[in-house]
Structure 1
Amino acid sequence: MELSKGANAPVPSSEVRVTVAADTGADLAALLLTAAGKVRSDSDFVFYNQPVGPGVEVVSEEAVRVSFGAVPAEIDRIVFTASLDGTGPADWGRAGPPRITVADHSSGAVFAAFTPTGLGPETALIACELYRRGDGWKVRAVGQGYAQGLAGIATDFGITVDDEPTPPAALRSQPAPPVPVRSAPPAEVQPQPPQFGRPTVDLSKGHVSLRKSETVSLTKPGAPALTRVRMGLGWDPATRGSQVDLDASVIAYDDRAKKLTNVWFLRREAFDGAIRHSGDNLTGHGDGDDEVITVDLTALPPQVYALVFTVNSFAGHKFDQVGRAHCRLLDDHTGAELVRFELSRGEPTTGVFLAMLTRAANAWNMTALGEYAKGATVRKMVDPGKRFVTTSRPSAG
């Protein structure tokens, strides 16, 4: 049965498969909701890195299986989300509408199909939902888009996606076996000297290669100040074992070291696009930089004093286990590499602070950090990163 938006149909099967098909890479996930419309805990968010929930299992990036007999009685409905994986167009308007089907898991017979229309800047959408009716289940076509991406949907249903004490698992793919969802330990790094973050070299002689903890003023006599930077993160796919999944992120702070926002794969832009994330790369496939963050320094609001760039290994691979990985900071206009840090065979931790930009009187300063930390997500880097900001302020020391 072909459904229009808002229409419903009975589901005459005890086990179904919900599938999304699109012209670009898309991920399907499921949220198990009570009658209050919220998840009971983060474990009710079922996606490829947390692929098994009560009665629900992710069988591929595009398909989820539901066994109704195993769904807990307090679960009133199951909402299915379709989100772009960052490898193609930036939103559903440019990607073209996905097609959602609900079929018998064993025979493949399709009970309902739905193609959402009218999508534009949205990067994720609620595709459909399965809900209880009497002793059975029905499917409803939804097609509600979210410009805030999967993070916006998750927040609406009770998943915390920002700096809470126990963050949910990241919303991305990771091969089986299932990885337990648990918080990484707080980041631990060694203190820096009081004068940390003050310019120690300049660009008067052209390109410089910064060493750890060195700072350069991003101005050159007689030349315009640097206005756009680009952070690039690259690594090679794993040849055996589970896939390595690294994440590029940036934290914005004010001059009191208060976090203003994070930009990462869950929140892919900030300050009206002044900071943009290219999207989540899950495996390292592809040449060059696998994840990129661009920053228009001239468009940042005045309260942004510092930007701290980080790399994290969500799947838990420590950097001493990662081969052929790098992160770097470049002039986005010229492509000139400003800072490069080799992550391969690094320290046995899951996080690293790459570099920091701080606002000066008429331009910006850049510090090469190169500090490893214990933190599988950027949220674990926020508090430890404050010390870089604090010790860079003119009043510090």
Structure 2
Amino acid sequence: MRKRALLSCALVATGLFAAPAWAGSVQCDNDRAAGQYPCDNMGGLNYVYRSGQRGDWNGDDRLNSTNTGWYGWFFPGVERSYSFYAWLNNSAFTDAYARYGVIDTSNAYRQTAVINQNTAPGGWNYAGYGRGYLFTVTPSGNGRNGADIVQLYYADGLAAAADAAPRVTEANRDFSGRCPSATPADPRIAALQQRMLDAPDAYRDAVGSVDLRFRNNGQNEAIDFEVSRTQRSSFVRIARGQDRVEEHATRNGSSLSLYPQAKAYKTTLLADLPAPGGPRVYRNARCEAVFVHRGDASGAIGADNVIAPQNYAFWLSTEDVRIAGRQRLLGREATVVAGKHADYLGEKLGAATFRMWVDDKTGALLRLVGRDRTGAVAYSIDVRELRFDTGLELKPSMAAPQGWSRLETR
């Protein structure tokens, strides 16, 4: 049972301790008793309450049962700019495209992050920055979407002028040295991890296609993508068999998602977030792991598995890994990493070992294969085509087809 906390205040730096880059924080867990947290839960109509859950905060969570609806953490009367962290540590949370967002007092919604709950390592996962009082998670229909406790950090007071500038507020990073290091011990692994985390800085545009298969959540997708980082735009087509296709177009902070089989569409405003400037993997003062995801202004949902492979970079801190050699793949020089899964991801993904191939020049993921104890493939990511910096001029249409139904964005 984890200790419940209402409000944390920053520690004053003394001696050798560096000052944390935050002023305060608030937590909100599921189904709280009155007075335990300064918040309420909203939505959740299709989220089933579960207790006795190993790995969850206070042993309970909410698990989506229908792939529809949304779940929210509501802070009434307290609109502020927050850095938003979600606790992900349950093997049933398998949504490949969980959408996190924030709603302000004018009822305007902005998406702050898309996180693959299925492959995210266990711990606090940074889900973006936004100004509002209601933070939400929405299922994608690709795996089971889960909701547990969230912790919101703020840098300054309530005044809009004081904390309106987007930035990552660190989650009470440990400076004492008493917690185990989250940095890979092998400097070659540490350098490779940083290259993967910084992959979007290594190219201006990317064109490619990839096949993803994960046995545990039934994900079986063929993804084709065109992405322009400099133009903040993308077009991604995700095919799931013969009867389910999605198309996602993003341009200048606005995203249009098309669902042809349902003749439906969704429009989403994306939060304009800077790249994180501090450490991307560390431990907080409770020695819990913190993983800082980088926002994607181009909105390249699905393509990020290849060209911004953050979760797989985080694995280099949480799993038992080693450099296994080098290989040329898709005409590119790659570093091969061999790994053994720790208990959390091993149980969740049904895999004991894995190998990943990482592009030496950009940090992009070229291939990933996980196998169970019998040697059978439990999951795989196979890039079929990948080209960088072709001079792509990408201006996708942002017009929804006439007569299609508009879906609610939350």
TM-score range, shorter chain: under 0.3
Give the TM-score normalised by structure 1: 0.25
Larger Rg: 1
